Amino acid sequence: MPEVLFRVRWPDDSVHRCYSPSTVIEEYFRVGGSSALTEFVALSRKALTEASERVRAGHGFGCARAEAQLAGIELKAAGSADQQADIVVEGYER
């Protein structure tokens, strides 16, 4: 299963490289596209859960790293004062 890193620009202008165990993440986020923080978190939850389930289907267990990435996204988002601020997906790396 091809792993994908995706670069995210947060409202504080920091950029983080995030992990997905599957290319399914690319079905949820368009490069250069932006979404409100709350929408980004919701879409990340759906995408990373689906990615982890694809790992489960192939290997018999979910992806702990995808779960940890989601927890990191949720933690970063919770620290933002403006929950409607835009998040931008800057690109993908394989």
CA distance 58 to 35: 31
Mind listing the pLDDT tens digit for each residue in 51-83? 999 999 999 999 999 999 999 999 999 999 888
Q: Amino acid letter at 20?
A: S
pLDDT score, position 90: 97
* Two structure tokens written together for 76: 């970063």
Domain boundaries, the chain: 4-93
Mean pLDDT computed over every residue of the chain:
95
Q: Amino acid letter at 36?
A: A
Specify the pTM: 0.92
| Radius of gyration from C-alpha coordinates of the chain | 13
- Residue % of the chain over a pLDDT of 90: 91
3-state secondary structure of 74: helix
